[in-house]
Amino acid sequence: MSETQAAELFPIISREQSENAFRAALNLFVGRGRRYSSKEVQIGTGVSHRLIDCCRSYPSGHPDHRPMHMGAQMSLMAFLGPEFTSEWIKLAGQVAFHKPEGIDHDEVEEAARDFLAAKGKAHHPDSPGGREIAECEQDDLDDKVAVLRAVG
């Protein structure tokens, strides 16, 4: 028995949910009457149009479904842009955006932390909810910094 089975741990988003969300997002951007044809996406990404069409046509769990490996998915994300990526990762409660040229993630993180520190001083820890507000804001900032680093 594997460690995962012994501990009865399961991911909060299943492979099936992720693949189906990817399929739904792909269908919004690729196909007849959409922004791109699967052939155009193949030319732009190097991912076979047959694999793209297979991912668009068959939900996870279907006998003809063929999963797309992460490199191919990332290639599609790079080509189709943050609108596509956001549509896919909204399942995880996140969004994507284009990274501005010359962005320094450490400077952004430092500015955000300085802002939080200044804002935290405005909340007296002994006031009703003061400590909880500061803790929630710190957790929120940590989440945003993690997303920023992932994008960069």
**Domains of the chain by residue range:** 3-92, 105-151
User: Given this model, what pLDDT does residue 47 score?
Assistant: 95
Amino acid at position 11, single letter = P
Q: What is the pLDDT of residues 90-149, one digit of tens each?
A: 999 888 877 777 777 777 777 777 777 766 665 555 555 555 555 666 666 666 666 666
Q: What is the pLDDT of residues 67-77, one digit of tens each?
A: 899 999 999 99
Give yes or no for a contact between 112 and 141, defined as CB atoms under 8 angstroms apart. Answer: yes
User: Given this model, what pLDDT does residue 64 score?
Assistant: 82
Percentage of residues in the chain having pLDDT higher than 70? 72
pTM for the model: 0.62
pLDDT greater than 90 at residue 26: yes
CA dist list (Å): 125 to 65, 111, 128, 134, 136: 54, 22, 8, 8, 13
pLDDT greater than 60 at residue 46: yes
Rounded Cα gap, residues 108 and 25, in angstroms: 30
